[in-house]
Amino acid sequence: MEPISSTECVGEPGLVVLDIAAADEATAVAVQAELERWWATSGTAPVRRVPGRPGVTVRV
C-alpha cells in the first residue's frame, strides 16, 4: 500500500462515506466503534450480508 500524501487529505469539513468489508459481523462492529472514538460518525450502521458471498459489509 502506498502512503497517503497531504494533498490527498480532506482539508475542510464535509461528508465522507466509508464502505467496510469484514470477515464477520463482530469485526465490522468493532471497526465502527473504533471510528466513533476518533471521528464524529453517523453512528452504528446495519451490517449487510450478501447470500453466497463470504463476509459482511457496512457503510459508515
Please state, in angstroms and rounded to a whole number, the distance separating the CA atoms of residues 8 and 6.
Answer: 5
> Can you tell me whether residue 20 is helix, strand or coil?
strand
pLDDT value at 4 more than 90? no
pLDDT value at 3 more than 70? no
Looking at residue 40, its amino acid is: A
Which residues sit opposite 22 in a β-bridge?
Answer: 56
pLDDT value at 6 more than 60? no
| Distance set, CA 43 to CA 3, 7, 9, 13, 59 (Å) | 28, 28, 22, 17, 10
